[in-house]
């Protein structure tokens, strides 16, 4: 049981959408923007979600990848990705439904990215 989903995140840094690949299987989530930037989430024996990957020593690897492109998703974003994964793992979502629901989530993130403050003052901040 595995599926791959391609999600287009709008990058304020580049002014266009970049394609991210999310691979889901029963044991892990693997997300990447290119072959250099990867994030992985596994569930340990205690049921905790453990992230590893890009700049792991400096926060969450998936958020680090996104922030490198000046994408700042809402706080619930990581929990939402895990919620969708868990729903897919237990059969509540099909592969197609997982992709559809994640695209809705990314549409929301893209609205946030496209509508960030763009004054001269804020441009230097994000």
HSE of 70, CA atoms in CB hemisphere, 13 A = 19
**Beta bridge partner(s), residue 5:** 22
Count: domains in the chain: 1
CA distance 20 to 63: 13
pLDDT of 126: 75
- Summarize pLDDT for 19-48 with one digit per residue, the tens: 999 999 999 999 998 778 999 999 999 989
CATH number at residue 83: 3.30.2210.10
| Residue 101 reports pLDDT greater than 90 | yes
The residue segments making up the domain with residue 112 are 2-123
pTM over 0.85: yes
Check residue 59 and report its DSSP letter: S
Cα 122 to its chain centre, rounded Å, is 24
Residue 36's pLDDT is 83
| pLDDT tens-digit map of 43-94 | 999 989 999 999 999 999 999 999 999 999 999 999 999 999 999 999 999 9
CA distance 120 to 94: 45
């Amino acid at each position: 049981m595995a599926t791959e989903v391609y999600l287009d995140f709008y990058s304020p840094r580049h002014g266009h959408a970049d394609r991210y690949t999310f691979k889901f299987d029963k044991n892990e989530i693997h997300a990447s923007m290119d072959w250099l930037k990867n994030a992985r989430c596994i569930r340990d024996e205690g049921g905790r979600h453990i992230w590893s990957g890009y700049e792991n020593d400096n926060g969450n690897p998936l958020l680090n990848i996104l922030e490198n492109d000046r994408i700042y998703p809402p706080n619930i974003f990581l929990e939402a990705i895990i919620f969708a994964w868990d729903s897919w793992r237990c059969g509540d979502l099909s592969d197609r439904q997982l992709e559809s629901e994640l695209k809705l989530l990314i549409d929301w993130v893209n609205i946030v990215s496209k509508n960030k403050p763009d004054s001269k003052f804020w441009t230097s901040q994000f």
